[in-house]
Structure 1
Amino acid sequence: MNSTTPAIVTQAAVRQLPRAVLLLFCLAYALPGFIGREAWKTADATAFGIMIDLVRGGDWWSPGVLGAPAETPGWAAYWLGAWAIQALPFLAPETAVRVPFIGLLLFTFACTWYSVYHLARQPQAQPVSFAFGGEASPRDYARALADAAVLALAACLGLAQLGHETTPDVARLAGAAAMLYGASRVADLRSPHSRQVLAKTVIGWLLGCVLLVFGGAPGLALVLGAGLLAVLCGAGRSAEATGVPDGSTPAPVPLGLLAALAGVLGASWLLAWGLGALAPFTWPVLPETLDDWQRWLRLMTWFTWPAWPMALWTLWRWRHQLGSLHLLLPLWLAGASVLHSMLASEHLDRALLLSLPGFATLAAFALPTMRRSMSALIDWFTLLFFSVCALIIWVIWFAMMTGFPAKPAANVAKLAPGFRPEFSLLLFLAGALASLAWIALVAWRTGRHRQALWKSLVLPAAGATLCWLLLTSLWLPLLDHALSYGPLSRRIATLVPPGHCVVVDGLNHAQESALRYHGNLDLVRIGAREQDRCRALIVESERQDSLWKRTDLTQWAYRATVRRLSDRQERFALYIRVSPGPGTRP
């Protein structure tokens, strides 16, 4: 084992987290937020509308809504959702499209677990050997760190909402995790089953390339892939330079394997280019103003919490082995994704999402080097923070149901006008069971029992899961009312003459998708040949004054203005077709 490692771990500290417990935890994190809710604005609703459009006969080679291409490229995500609707006709489309994305999120957890497991078995990642024995065995040590990495990934605050959407971002996240897994498998190339290892390496790398390239991030796929290949190429020299004893130095990665991985990456990119699946290239730009940098720093601070401070601690404590695979591979994934988020002019959070597997991997390697005082600080901070958050969620829910306390109830009524809370026994039981589980976990964590390496991340991961589960159970009707276009679409549908198509002008893909699905309306864009047979017209309010430039207003009479009750900015004017004559304007 490595005598220069900062990790000092006994066999007693690497006891296994039961597989059933870890699996139940992953399911408890993945399922809430996917089940029982409507599509939320804007990216989630847009992606769902594109999938519905494909099922209804849209162009599979150019996914979009009403013939307009998708603003966010991502063939892989749109195809998976559309195939799920077709394959699961017994489920509501909103539920069916989420099945493959539940799988992608769980796949991300699995790739992160196996990546850390194989990286932790690298000779340079092993803990110090004791003079009289008793140090952690390589296999148990690797499993303990892999368990911790999954907990660290779930604890990241930024994963909660974006990881539970049906958007290309989830496919890209899974692709980044799969590429990390494929690169980490080279640690086992010296095993007797090297052929099986080689196959798993190429398959993992292939899945990662496909999900990234066909998920709408071909440029990032090239950057990540090239960097990971460069790290693997120099793995042998890095090991020798860090002073690992002879006999434990990993063999250099075969050039044939590197060529195969590079070929898979290049073939995926060229195939996507040939099929026209690549997004138009735009030159990236760094944040220009101080406000832009502050906004990015604030996002970076909370989005990757609590993994980023632990990752920094890892880099400091393992600073004499920065050339090791178990540090370089996740560091490149996290660093490239962070840089990508800096250069993204918008959707900074979605660009930063891909860094989370890398941060979680680095955070796991902090645990063997952490002092007990730091571990206790993390536990107490997490306990107080998530307990207070859970209490606030419960108090506001109780105020919604009973009107007491009066101030929270008044705030809900002000922020969500028109919302009428109704008690749901199922949602209440889900929230109550989650809260009881949190109390039991806190009692276990503060009890007197043997120290486990992954214990410091139990409360952060469970606390994040608790709050997310409470939000998607107790607050689910409120969130649907505030974030879904469903109520608006159903209200507009009651004002439209039945059996006729509707002309739309100035609506985005999410709004059009909601009107088609929730309102069951047949939509036609203004200027289309089919608009002459339509009896109603819906225009976004800001485009209302210039509507006369795009259509003959003498054929339309103003009927009403409808807006989302929770958003005063989204207003739509409704017109009804009349006989030719003077139009009526609001």
Structure 2
Amino acid sequence: MALQRQLTLPFALLLGIAYVVPGLVGHDPWKPNEAYSFGIIYNVWGGGDWVVPILAGEPFMEKPPLFYISAAYVATLFSSWLPLHDAARLASGIYMAATLVLVGLSARATWGEGRGLVAVMAFLGCIGLLVDSHLMYTDIALLAGFALSYYGLALSRTRPALAGLALGTGVGIGFMSKGLIAPGIMGCVAVMLPALFGAWRNRDHARCLAVALLAATPWLIIWPYALYHRSPELFMQWLWINNFGRYLGFAHLGAESEPWFYTRTLPWFAWPALPLALWSAWRLGREGLKRPELQLPVLAVIVMLAVLGASASAGTQYALPVLVPLSVLAAGGATLLPQRVAAALDWLCRALFGSLAMVLWWGWMEMMFRGHPPDWSWLARYLPMDFEPQFQLFAFAVAVALTSAWVLLLLRLREWEIRPLLSWTAGLTLVWGLVSTLWLPWLDSAKSYRGMFASMQRALPAYHGCLASRNLGEHERAMLEYMTGIVSVRHEVRPDARCDFTLLQDKARDRRVPPQGGWQLVWQGNRPGDNRERFSLFGRRSGETGKLIPVSGIRPE
């Protein structure tokens, strides 16, 4: 039976919806990436600046504003039906849907009919994509830009004009999402292809690059020009510190890179696309890299990893674009697994995800029937054990539907040649769906700032004036503004500000050092699921300002 008849578009569409939609709504913005991203989105949504991203009243020049602007538009469209942060997060779902389509088109352009859906299954199955693809931050828009530009390169030998438009637009989207990394990587790949391989050394590829340059130019010029016209200082901060500084080591953005970080990360992050890609390269590349179908994805992976490895900062989310060429390469050999190996992997996937689903259902039933979370000691380190669960009919119905669909799929998996890949991706989708429905309220109670800041706000008088802050991170400042309407006055920026209250963030293990000059502790607290950070609210003693500040002792969260 032909491959495209076995793996149908309606089936892939349903599985894609089951993967993408759960987890997009139903929780507050989470640290580390969502909280500050939504802070900027919130400013744009409220009529703020489109040229200079603003976070809690201050310019935030790490990234260009495309994702923030698009998420603010989506939030405006859906905020009548959803909380604002959930409505904004739908933008990530839209970018993810576009990425899935582009991955499929890239594989189809590379391998021919029927392989596009295989690449989509390999892409969806990647462990590293699971959580990040459901959060609202710029790397999801960057991923879509990479997927579009990669599709342009895959198409360049057959339809150069359309390929150039896709390549240039994808580079522009990537640039407006996260800066120079997209033009740098895809520009290197596009130039190195004809330099290294004769199959790409032709007029069609040259025509594709010419069209791509024209298509990318507006994306690369308009916003930087507007930013420079607004503030040359902010332009240099964005260009020099937040782009070149990541590679030269003086930006201090994100976690510092460690030797062989991505070599250690990729085996689990890109599973199962990575082993399938290696299998494809081995089975199809016995003549070396003489086949154009192998040249593009292999070169793209090498260039991406080289650029990521050269950066002074590292993070798993930075490796998301690598999943695109790996998934396309995996589609070439996914059907070539020996039948015995395929059957064994299929049964391992069934056992693994069936067991995980049973654990998730068992934990949820304990919460429902006993009225409190299960007494599992390993969970107590991450989740609050005083959480009070409530039955949610819609979440329960979705979880039942996902579980039933997975069981029905197992009965028909033998009909597909790529059954181990489908078994893995469907099982991963089921587990994610159960976590995002049955367990989401408990997870959100641990990661949300809402309860903590509500407790702090109750400790403040109705007319408290300005609120100063010390060591308050960008995530916390964003959530403080969104959830309380308070924009803190940072001591690091305005040390001479005279506020009657100061919010201090520090490590729970450190000895608390109160501000100097007659302050007393009013409140202290932390997120229920984070025992490492501590927040302390100090109020001036009444003699310091001549005003009576109502302080009745510590108000713990």
TM class by smaller structure = 0.7 to 0.9
Partner of 1:488: 452
Q: Tell me the distance in 1 between the aligned counterparts of 2:376 and 2:439.
A: 13
Q: What are the superposed Cα offsets for residues 147-206 of structure 1, whole Å, 9 maximum, x if unpaired? A: 1001110000110111111111101111110111111222433xxxxxxx72x3233223
Partner of 1:118: 109
Among candidates 459, 468, 478, match of residue 513 of structure 1: 478
Contact 1:561 1:574 in 2 (8 A): yes
Give how far 1:321 is off: 5.4
Give how far 1:528 is off: 4.2
Partner of 1:135: none
Q: Tell me the distance in 1 between the aligned counterparts of 2:357 and 2:248.
A: 39
Code of the residue aligned with 2:111 in structure 1: it is A
| CA distance 1:429–1:270, shift in 2 (3 Å) | same
Contact 1:222 1:265 in 2 (8 A): no
Stretch of structure 1 that moved more, 569-578 or 458-467: 569-578
Q: What are the superposed Cα offsets for residues 444-498 of structure 1, whole Å, 9 maximum, x if unpaired? A: 114xx4xx44434211111111111111111101110122222212221221222
Q: What are the superposed Cα offsets for residues 303-336 of structure 1, whole Å, 9 maximum, x if unpaired? A: 1001101111111112225233322222233222
Partner of 1:258: 209
Contact 1:46 1:513 in 2 (8 A): yes
Give how far 1:518 is off: 2.1
Are 1:312 and 2:291 counterparts? Answer: no
Partner of 2:431: 467
Partner of 1:302: 268
Partner of 2:170: 208
Code of the residue aligned with 2:412 in structure 1: it is W
Match of 1:214, SS?
A: helix
Stretch of structure 1 that moved more, 44-53 or 414-423: 414-423
Give how far 1:435 is off: 1.3
Stretch of structure 1 that moved more, 519-528 or 97-106: 519-528
Q: Tell me the distance in 2 between the aligned counterparts of 1:115 and 1:229.
A: 19
Code of the residue aligned with 2:2 in structure 1: it is A
Q: Tell me the distance in 2 between the aligned counterparts of 1:321 and 1:88.
A: 51
Partner of 1:151: 121
Partner of 2:244: 281
Match of 1:479, SS?
A: helix
Give how far 1:60 is off: 2.8
Match of 2:316, SS?
A: helix
Code of the residue aligned with 2:529 in structure 1: it is S
Q: Tell me the distance in 1 between the aligned counterparts of 2:272 and 2:147.
A: 19
Task: Report the TM-score when normalising by structure 2.
Answer: 0.85
Contact 1:179 1:205 in 2 (8 A): yes
Match of 1:494, SS?
A: helix
Are 1:360 and 2:327 counterparts? Answer: yes
| CA distance 1:420–1:346, shift in 2 (3 Å) | farther
Give how far 1:399 is off: 2.9
Q: What are the superposed Cα offsets for residues 332-383 of structure 1, whole Å, 9 maximum, x if unpaired? A: 3322233334334444201111111111111110124322223223212222
Among candidates 304, 307, 320, match of residue 340 of structure 1: 307
Give how far 1:18 is off: 3.0
Give how far 1:406 is off: 9.2
Write the mapping of 1:379-394 to structure 2, written as runs, cut at 5 A. 379-394=346-361
Match of 2:543, SS?
A: coil
Q: Is there any run of 5+ residues in structure 1 with no aligned partner, and where?
A: 1-10, 122-141, 190-196, 241-250
Q: RCO greater where, 1 or 2, for CA within 8 Å and sep 6 or more?
A: 1
Q: Tell me the distance in 2 between the aligned counterparts of 1:346 and 1:419.
A: 36
Stretch of structure 1 that moved more, 77-86 or 258-267: 258-267
Code of the residue aligned with 2:405 in structure 1: it is A
Partner of 1:218: 180
Give how far 1:100 is off: 2.1
Code of the residue aligned with 2:388 in structure 1: it is R
Contact 1:515 1:521 in 2 (8 A): yes
Partner of 1:536: 501
Partner of 1:570: 533
Partner of 1:428: 396
| CA distance 1:300–1:254, shift in 2 (3 Å) | closer
| CA distance 1:397–1:254, shift in 2 (3 Å) | closer
Code of the residue aligned with 1:580 in structure 2: it is G
Are 1:479 and 2:443 counterparts? Answer: yes
Partner of 1:180: 150
Give how far 1:69 is off: 3.3
Match of 1:541, SS?
A: strand
Code of the residue aligned with 1:481 in structure 2: it is S
Q: Tell me the distance in 2 between the aligned counterparts of 1:18 and 1:75.
A: 37
Q: Tell me the distance in 1 between the aligned counterparts of 2:325 and 2:318.
A: 14
Q: Tell me the distance in 2 between the aligned counterparts of 1:462 and 1:76.
A: 32
Among candidates 64, 85, 95, match of residue 104 of structure 1: 95
Q: Tell me the distance in 1 between the aligned counterparts of 2:342 and 2:203.
A: 37
Give how far 1:263 is off: 4.6
Q: Is there any run of 5+ residues in structure 2 with no aligned partner, and where?
A: 228-234, 250-256
Code of the residue aligned with 1:52 in structure 2: it is Y
Give how far 1:44 is off: 0.8
Code of the residue aligned with 2:306 in structure 1: it is L
Computed over aligned residues only, the root mean square deviation of the Cα atoms, in angstroms, reads 3.1
Stretch of structure 1 that moved more, 572-581 or 259-268: 259-268
Q: Tell me the distance in 2 between the aligned counterparts of 1:266 and 1:324.
A: 32
Match of 1:165, SS?
A: coil
Are 1:351 and 2:341 counterparts? Answer: no
Among candidates 450, 468, 483, match of residue 503 of structure 1: 468
Contact 2:144 2:170 in 1 (8 A): yes
Contact 1:313 1:366 in 2 (8 A): yes
| CA distance 1:366–1:57, shift in 2 (3 Å) | same
Code of the residue aligned with 2:369 in structure 1: it is T
Q: How many residues align?
A: 523
Partner of 1:64: 54
Write the mapping of 1:371-382 to structure 2, written as runs, cut at 5 A. 371-382=338-349
Match of 1:157, SS?
A: coil
Code of the residue aligned with 1:443 in structure 2: it is L
| CA distance 1:257–1:39, shift in 2 (3 Å) | same
